[in-house]
Amino acid sequence: MKTYKLKVAGLERDLPIIKISDALSIASFVILGDQELTTKSAKELDKLIPDVDIFVTAEAKGIPLVHELSRLRNMKKYVVCRKSVKSYMKDSIEVSLKSITTANSQKLYLNGEDVGLIKGKEVCLVDDVISTGQSSKALEELINKAGGIVVARAAILAEGEAYKRDDIIYLSPLPLNPEK
């Protein structure tokens, strides 16, 4: 299997190269289960992210990162936007999105109880990778619907052309079609 050598937060990882379509391959970056990478990346991002009231991420790969960032800042809560409505969710709000790594369009949901944590608050959106920005746009739409104010967008990696954006905080670029 072909791999891409990633260097981020003082660590190296060999990422498997996965073909998404005839024209697109990505280096598969998964922080789930990689406690060392998550912890060190959060520590580095924490230095770059401005003061905020709360961190918000989408289910699921951003969860360990947002957890660690919240812990570093002694925040008691963070918010996870879900990919499906759960029975405990009341008065949830939703938005649709299309991600580079998902075949079909999907929805993100914010539990009505979490709206109170966000309304009128300065929010940092957090993800493991920002690529096309569709997930971030959907998260921002949810935050706006909830009455929050997005003041920062942060990720470990900026994939493809995302590294050119000046509205995101990230630690390292990640190329699309890395085998070329």
Helix segments in 30-111, DSSP class H: 35-48, 63-72
Structure tokens at 103: 């075949």
Place of tokens 């649709």: 96
CA distance between the termini of the chain = 15
| Confidence category of residue 32, pLDDT binned at 50, 70, 90 | very high
Question: Please, what is the Cα angle at 126 between 121 and 130, to 5 degrees?
Answer: 135
Tell me the chain's radius of gyration from C-alpha atoms. 16
Q: What is the pTM of this model?
A: 0.90
Contact 112, 139 (CB under 8 A): no
Confidence at residue 90, expressed as pLDDT on a 0 to 100 scale: 82
Q: Is the pLDDT of residue 83 over 80?
A: yes
Q: 100-144: per-residue pLDDT in tens? A: 555 567 888 888 889 999 999 999 999 999 988 788 888 999 999
Q: Is the pLDDT of residue 71 over 70?
A: yes
- Give rounded-to-5 percent helix, strand, coil for the chain: 25, 35, 35
Question: How large is the average pLDDT for residues 153-174?
Answer: 93
Sign of the torsion angle spanned by Cα atoms 28, 29, 34, 36: positive
**Strand, helix or coil for residue 100:** coil
